[in-house]
Amino acid sequence: MVPVFDIFGKQISIYMLMALAGILTIIFFGTKRAEKSGLDEFKMMYATLWAFAGTAIGGHIMYGISQFSSMIDFFKMLFGGDIKSFDKFLLGVKLVFGGSVFYGGLIGAIIAVAIYAKIAHIGSDYFDIGACMVPLFHTFGRLGCFLTGCCYGVESKIGFVYKYSPDPLANGVRRFPIQLVEATCNFLIFLLILYLLKKNKLKGRLFLLYLLIYTVIRFILEFFRGDVIRGHFWIFSTSQWISILLFIPALILFIRLNKPKETE
């Protein structure tokens, strides 16, 4: 696993390369799926771009929240006048908000697309396609995480030994390949929702179904994570708490939407 590689003297991040591959893949998939479903493929593309903007903003904000003590220290230094140059300000922002958390990106994407849906007057059909696109993109993202070593599993008798992870704590120890497991789970979720989409089943509820399935899987997989930088509160990690907070309203809404309409 190598986080970066050189091309013509320039260092290329393997994670960014995988993310780019994921972006191109889901844009192609989303527009083609929209066209086959009789939807506006350009609106699908614009919704995807809004989602990416929300993902970038939300992911970095959530990372900062997960580093809460560092974020508080940064703002104390900022408003206390200890940061006196723009370069130091940028360094502080990078240290506090330089990483990204998937759940923050997901929440940011949901908010961004919801805003675009109001503007462009798009319906739940677009969200059904989005329910396929999110786990497909996440598959690429987790493969990028595995190759980079930015997040990693617990010490295990099965797995891989990192040598070049950006986190020194990950190196030199055989670790459970949690990223590959999650990538596989995401791809299976994609296949399931794609099947339901093609069969026109659970129309308008596929994104809720994605949330219900993924949050349960993520909650379980968090117990096999070895990196602690993502934050931990009481008995659960930050991502486990978010899994609970997303699962409950998704379940309530899914049940409500599945109730048969009363006839007079």
Q: What is the mean pLDDT of each run of 10 residues along the chain (264 residues)?
A: 66 84 95 94 95 91 73 72 69 66 90 95 94 96 88 87 80 91 97 96 95 97 83 83 95 88 52
Distance CA 157, CA 222 (A): 18
In 69-144, which ranges are E strands? none
Dist. CA 24–CA 26, nearest whole Å: 6
Residue 108 structure tokens: 């940011």
pLDDT value, residue 93: 65
Sequence-distant (6+) residues with CB within 8 A of 80 are: none
In angstroms, the CA 24 to CA 189 distance is 19
Query: What is the SS3 assignment for 5?
Result: strand
DSSP type of residue 171: B
- The radius of gyration computed from the CA coordinates of the chain, to the nearest angstrom, equals 20
Half-sphere exposure of 203 (CA within 13 A, CB side): 6
Rounded alpha-carbon distances, angstroms, from residue 54 to 65, 114, 115, 181, 239: 16, 10, 10, 26, 18
Residue 165 identity (one-letter amino acid): S
The closest of 177, 252, 180 to 211, measured between CA atoms, is: 252
Per-residue confidence (pLDDT) for residue 264, from 0 to 100: 45
Using an 8 Å Cβ cutoff, are 183 and 143 in contact?
yes
